[in-house]
Every structure is written in structure tokens, then in C-alpha cells.
Amino acid sequence: MGNTRQMSPSELVQASRLIPASASKIFELLAHPAQHVVIDGSGTVKDVQQRTPERLFAGARFGMQMRWGLPYKILNEVVEFESDRRIAWRHFGGHVWRYILEPVDAERTWVTEQFDPTHSRAPLVLRLMRASRRNQASIDATLLRLEQWAAGRAPA
């Protein structure tokens, strides 16, 4: 884990990893919802829903087909969008999934993934679901899959 930084301010769940790819290449993957299944470390992202934009933009709404025990659908809205630097979305629950890209050089980028429950509409539900612990494991796995993708290896 020499190339991973973990940070845990109160409530915010996050981790960072040095990824061997440019910020623009990583951002393009994140901006295409159909590609999220490639790097999803939670195992819950299955596919995009119909009428989901091919590429995200500020304010875009996109639907994902998910599975956590049972299949379900979720509609997200892009709430932060800075090309090659930051992208974030939230759904009806109010919590935010965020990616922050910090270029080191042309071929390496620190990627921070965050689960931000600050504005959750159901904080008690998140606590009962042990969302922080589960999401920390998912974030760690996602960043590993992203590193594998960037290195040209199929994510495990």
C-alpha cells in the first residue's frame, strides 16, 4: 500500500491512490457512466439505465442499474464538474460520491474518492447500514481496480 493515502475526517469516507494515468484519461472514464462498472469496487454497479447520457456534464441526470441483494435502479445528478479535476454526483438520499484528480505529471494522478454523507437525508439509516465501513472497503477496492485499469490489466 505504498501508493495509497487514507484520510478519515469525521463522517467523510475517503482514500487516495496514485494512478499511472493522466488526469484527462481518468476523468474520461469517470465521465462515462457506462464505464463505471469497470472500476466499481462495491460490486453493486451493473449497468446504465436507458436515456442516460453517454458523457456526463454539470447538472446531468443519469440512471444506474444496481444490485445489493436485490436489483434496483438509482437516479443520480452531477453536482460538481470540473473537467480533468473533479466530478461528483448524488441521488435522492443526499449523500455525494466524489472523485478529485490531482495531476502529479503527465502520466500519474492522485485520485481521491470520497463518500460524503454530510447532506444525507437519512443519517440514521447510513449508520444502521454501517455505510462508512462498507464504503471505505468499496472505495479501496475501486481505487485498486482503477489502478489496474490504468496499467492495462483487467480489474479483478
The CATH number covering residue 70 comes to: 3.30.530.20
| Domain housing 34 | 13-150
The reply to whether 4 falls in a domain is no
Q: Supply the pLDDT for residue 4.
A: 53
For the chain, the straight-line distance linking the first and the last C-alpha, in angstroms and rounded, comes to 17
Which residue is listed with cell 467523510? 12
Q: Grid coordinates in use for 62?
A: 443519469
pLDDT at residue 2 tops 70: no
The reply to whether 65 falls in a domain is yes
Q: What is the pLDDT of residues 8-58, one digit of tens each?
A: 344 899 999 999 999 999 999 999 999 999 999 999 999 999 989 999 999
The reply to whether 103 falls in a domain is yes
Q: What is the pLDDT of residues 106-117, one digit of tens each?
A: 999 999 999 898
| Number of domains comprising the chain | 1
Pairing state between β 86-90 and 96-105: antiparallel
The reply to whether 57 falls in a domain is yes
pTM for the whole structure: 0.90
Q: Grid coordinates in use for 28?
A: 474520461
Provide the 10 A C-beta neighbour count for residue 75: 13
Q: What is the pLDDT of residues 78-129, one digit of tens each?
A: 999 999 999 999 998 889 999 999 999 999 999 999 989 888 878 878 888 7
The reply to whether 77 falls in a domain is yes
Q: What is the pLDDT of residues 58-71, one digit of tens each?
A: 999 999 999 988 99
